[in-house]
Amino acid sequence: MFPFYNVLSDAEALMAHESALRVLDQVGVALEHPKAQEALSGLGARISDNRKRVYFPPELVMKMVDRAPKEFVFAGRDPKLDLVMKLGNSHIRSAAGPIYHYDIVTGQSRNLTLADALDSVRLVNALPNIGAHAALSPQDLDPKTYEIATTKMMLENTDKHFWVLTTSSDNLKYELDMVAASVGGKENLRKRPIVSSIACVIAPLRFPTDEVERLIICGDYGVSAMTPVIVMIGGSAPYTLAGALTQMTAEILATVTIGQALCPGMGQFYYTLMQALDMRSGNSVTQGPELMALYAAGASMARFYGLPSVANTTFSGECQSHQMIYDYGVNIFLGLSCGYTFQVGAGSLESGNLYSHEALVVIDEVKAYMDKFMEGIRFSEETLAVADIAARAEKGEYVSSKLTLKYLREEKRFAGSLFTYPLLSQWIPDPKTIIDRAAQRVKKILAEAPQEPLLPKDTIKDLDEIMAAAQKRFA
């Protein structure tokens, strides 16, 4: 394994850390949730006179960072599929929230459906390098309860860990009731959290009351609330990269402080999702060298605090296949080389609006390719091969060498199904592209995927009852 790349020196990481602490102590965060204010005040935080802002002294922040676990498990229903979240490990999760399905082969998009979401689940089940699912946003369901129905579908069709999409704390309760019912109760879920969920920060430095409520609900059920910090450079965050890093770090430290104050021991991340405001067009940009530098800095800060890290480095800002593949390769390499624990967003394009089955399959192969690179080179007296070079130099070939035959099995080379390297004379008669091969693989996986739900009928009946109760409540 290669050493991880640190874009920040120790001195620069310390400067960013101290600047973030000054922001939390002097500027504070907008936070009006009564229970959160009470818990934080009891630990030494200051509440503004109008009870709209909370100020965190540095010693409180670092006490909560120390409390946060540095290793925890995102469980699969099958323990063989567990993902250990700690610095040094590397996992990928599929796309979260896209509302359009995009066919890269034809270039056509349409509203994403529950059937598309089910196909995505079946694909992730079969792809060895995509460790966890995330919920998509089907547009053919009731908008008041679509995320509950999506959670039900995912529970019925995968043994891998998945991320639960939610739009409100009220809906989240129904979703986590379903998850608990599928594993035999809330206590079993707390022991083996087969899902994670989300609570959001609104930049700059705002923690909406319902988002904090979601955090509390996740803690009650024993699941991790992944809290992405979404900064837009020049929009909702400072224009300078160092300033954006300061705000981003302050917001992440605030999420950890709030999370550990309300839910001690909850697994939390240094989780970054970054954009830049294009001052010429007013558009949001999610790709570029400046953002890559900031993502790399985020990984350095995660190591500074010892926290597992998450980044949205597996999506593309483009919908064109050639640039999409470039984005995936560069971004995933960035995430691996900088040491991100969990790279999320696989299969999404156009900054998360679009989802593509073919893109998901391409990312699975990119991850395999990059994992092989990250293995590095094995050094030993035998692998340095001085004796083999001496024995084979006159013969001029190593094909028949005993060392070759031994390491042909022990040092397996990467063999991709999508990345192929034909000569022009071979390619002209059969000019399939990587996208064509990805589409073929998608069809093959879906054709061979199990069609029946994985849960017992009695459990599915329990989920149906919870779904019916939610539909009645939100009718």
With respect to residue 74, please indicate whether it lies within any of the assigned structural domains. Answer: yes
The model's pTM = 0.93
With respect to residue 31, please indicate whether it lies within any of the assigned structural domains. Answer: no
pLDDT tens string, the chain, 475 residues long: the values are 567 889 999 999 999 999 999 999 999 999 999 999 999 999 999 999 999 999 999 999 999 999 999 999 999 999 999 999 999 999 999 999 899 999 988 889 999 999 999 999 999 999 999 999 999 999 999 999 999 999 999 999 999 999 999 999 999 999 999 999 999 999 999 999 999 999 999 989 999 999 999 999 999 999 999 999 988 899 999 999 999 999 999 999 999 999 999 999 999 999 988 888 888 888 888 878 888 999 999 999 999 999 999 998 887 766 677 788 888 888 898 899 999 999 999 998 887 889 999 999 999 999 999 888 888 888 999 999 999 999 988 888 899 999 999 998 888 888 888 888 888 888 888 888 889 999 999 999 999 999 999 999 999 999 999 999 999 999 8
The reply to whether 334 and 387 lie within a common domain is no
The C-alpha atoms of residue 273 and residue 275 are separated, in whole angstroms, by 7
With respect to residue 464, please indicate whether it lies within any of the assigned structural domains. Answer: no
> Helix or strand or coil: residue 116?
helix
Question: How many CA atoms, within 13 angstroms, populate the side-chain half-sphere of residue 286?
Answer: 23
The reply to whether 291 and 244 lie within a common domain is yes
Instruction: Give residue 404's domain range.
Output: 381-410
Domain boundary, last residue among 349, 374, 399: 374
Number of structural domains found in the chain: 2
The C-alpha atoms of residue 123 and residue 445 are separated, in whole angstroms, by 6
The C-alpha atoms of residue 136 and residue 314 are separated, in whole angstroms, by 15
- pLDDT on residue 2: 63
The reply to whether 250 and 393 lie within a common domain is no
Q: Is 447 exposed, middle or buried (0-12, 13-18, 19+ CB in 10 A)?
A: exposed
The reply to whether 405 and 301 lie within a common domain is no
The reply to whether 160 and 282 lie within a common domain is yes
Contacts of residue 229, Cβ cutoff 8 Å, sequence gap at least 6: 201, 203, 248, 251, 252, 255, 271, 272, 273
The reply to whether 69 and 100 lie within a common domain is yes
The reply to whether 80 and 221 lie within a common domain is yes
Contact 460, 161 (CB under 8 A): no
Other beta carbons within 10 angstroms of residue 326's beta carbon come to: 14
| Domain containing residue 145: CATH number | 3.20.20.480
- Note if the bond before 204 is cis, omega within 30 degrees: yes
With respect to residue 451, please indicate whether it lies within any of the assigned structural domains. Answer: no
The reply to whether 398 and 347 lie within a common domain is no
Its sign, for the CA torsion 253, 254, 255, 260, is positive
Contacts of residue 434, Cβ cutoff 8 Å, sequence gap at least 6: 321, 325, 362, 418, 419
Residue found by looking up tokens 């800095």 in the block: 297
With respect to residue 130, please indicate whether it lies within any of the assigned structural domains. Answer: yes
With respect to residue 69, please indicate whether it lies within any of the assigned structural domains. Answer: yes
Contact 272, 226 (CB under 8 A): no
65-102 per-residue burial string, b: 16 or more CB within 10 A, e: under 16? bebbbeebbbbbbeeebbbebebeebbbbbbbbbebbb
Q: Which helix (H) or strand (E) holds 142?
A: none
With respect to residue 86, please indicate whether it lies within any of the assigned structural domains. Answer: yes
The reply to whether 366 and 385 lie within a common domain is no
The reply to whether 96 and 163 lie within a common domain is yes
- pLDDT on residue 69: 96
The reply to whether 177 and 150 lie within a common domain is yes
Its sign, for the CA torsion 220, 135, 72, 466, is positive
Helix and strand numbers (H, E) in the chain are 18, 20
Contact 245, 16 (CB under 8 A): yes
The reply to whether 185 and 157 lie within a common domain is yes
Domain boundary, last residue among 374, 401, 418: 374
With respect to residue 89, please indicate whether it lies within any of the assigned structural domains. Answer: yes
Residue found by looking up tokens 């009718």 in the block: 475
